[in-house]
Amino acid sequence: MASDDTPAGRKVVEVSAGLVFRGGKLLITQRHNSGHLADLWEFPGGKREPGETFEQCLARELHEELGIEVAVGRLVESLTHQYPERAVHLQFFLCAWRRHEPRPLDCQAVAWITPDDLAQYEFPAADERLLARLKTDWASWAAEC
């Protein structure tokens, strides 16, 4: 379950992720088939580097992993999730796709999905709260982009 508490002394991985909308559809990516959370689908993004804002991290990661350019918008969710092997602090931003078709440069696959498609994909537990919000806010978020 998502939480904002982190056990003392435990390193927290800081991650920035984007809700990238285009034409009413949302971009998701599939994680590599090895490593942490293998094969699950997620909102694209990645680990924040020292000295980088979460917004800068997101723009860099989307370019490196998918070859796309986006306009990073407002923060829609911030949470810390405890997995058995690590703690992850996630910040999710609303993004508008600007240029280039997404390509799976550093992921297994990419998909543009509709609200009806969402249930067909398995996401990490950390995304649970955001997925619940998407079911009710999808149209308003997509309209912002």
CATH 3.40.80.10 fits 2-144, yes or no: no
pTM of the model: 0.89
Mean pLDDT in residue range 12-25: 95
Share of the chain above pLDDT 90, in %: 74
pLDDT band at 86 (very low <50, low <70, confident <90, very high): confident
Residue 134's H or E segment, with its range, is helix 128-144
Q: In whole angstroms, what is the distance from residue 17 CA to residue 23 CA?
A: 19
64 Cβ contact partners less than 8 Å away, ≥ 6 residues apart = 46, 105, 106
Share of the chain above pLDDT 70, in %: 92
Top mean-pLDDT range of 3-7, 49-53, 124-128: 49-53
Q: Is 84 left (phi over 0), alpha (psi -120 to 50) or beta?
A: alpha
pLDDT (0 to 100) of residue 100: 97
- pLDDT over 80 (residue 92): yes
Helix (H, G, I), strand (E, B) or coil at 113: strand
pLDDT (0 to 100) of residue 5: 42
